[in-house]
Amino acid sequence: MAYPQDAAVQPPALRIDALGKKCPLPIIMLAQRIGEVPIGNVIEVLADDPATKTDVPAWCGLKSHEFVGAGELAPAPGWAFRIRRSY
Amino acid sequence: MQTTDISAAQQAMADESVKRLAMICWSNDLDKVWPTLILATTGAASGLEVDVFFTFWGLRVLQKNNKRFTGKNWMQKGESFVDRGGTDHLKLGKIHFAGMGTWMIRKLAKQYKVASPTELLEMALECGVRLHPCQMTMDLYGLSPEDFIDGLQPTLGAASFIDMAAKADITLFI
């Protein structure tokens, strides 16, 4: 995992398993569930659709939430994306 | 009161900052409806206000899946027989191959966990996408409100969609 230091310190308040799901499901799942974590907390999305590598940061930009970073999952191909709820 | 004025101004600014997406779904070909629903749901999930205007063949997308025949006269009923409505019954516009092509792509989508048009339409309603049926097409096909799924907006005409599109940041005709 290669998260920024502060994200590594703060564990995610919620983890969404979108492994195996294709566009746009990981984004829809993230949008539906980010409200479940308190403001300022981190939500993590596990996904293996390569489109999520650009879609999750793009979504964060559109929704003005903070994209904290992404880490590669091992051994399975996939990524863990961390997003901090801003409001 | 000043506080009220500030609040109203802030609200107006917030409303202006919301991006809008206006889409037309004119066809009930699976290959056109699928991306329309993917973009509509993603737009709504990304904070955009999304309106989709369903017109001509596209209106069939909003039909209940279990509604086999629609229409008031023999021509309308005949049209509904050969062009069944509902998201479960959409066919590919090309490579349909008497049903084989459509069957294959739907099977592949299920295998690779791509959301089906039916699932996407449900998600669209959950995400707040506004689905507008075309009044003229309803009359043309002899469709009535009970032929459609729940949760739709009131019917619209072309000028209403043009007004919607003029106010939108993005307009897509798929």
CA distance A31 to A63: 9
- Set out the domains of chain B in order of their start, with CATH numbers: 19-173 (3.40.1260.10)
Q: Which domain holds residue A42?
A: 8-84
DSSP state of B88: G
**Catalytic pick from A1, A23, A28, A62?**
A23
Q: Which residues contact B3 (CB under 8 A, 6 or more apart)?
A: none
Nearest to B127 by CA among A68, A63, A65, A85: A63
- From chain B, the residues in CB contact with A85 under 8 A are none
B156 vs A: CB within 8 A: no
Tally of structural domains, chain A: 1
* pLDDT level of residue B143 (50, 70, 90 thresholds): very high
Residue of B19, B21, B42 to mutate, testing the A interface (most A Cβ within 10 Å of its Cβ) = B42
Chain A residue at shortest CA distance from B113: A21
At A67 the pLDDT is 97
User: Span B60-72, mean pLDDT?
Assistant: 95
CA distance A59 to A65: 8
Residue B149 has pLDDT above 80, yes or no: yes
Is A69 a member of any domain?
yes
**pLDDT, position B33:** 97
The mean pLDDT of B23-40, rounded to a whole number, is 97
pLDDT band at A8; cut points 50, 70, 90: low
Question: Which whole number is the average pLDDT over B108-114?
Answer: 90
> What whole-number percentage of chain B has pLDDT above 90?
82
Of B19, B45, B112, the CB nearest to A27: B45
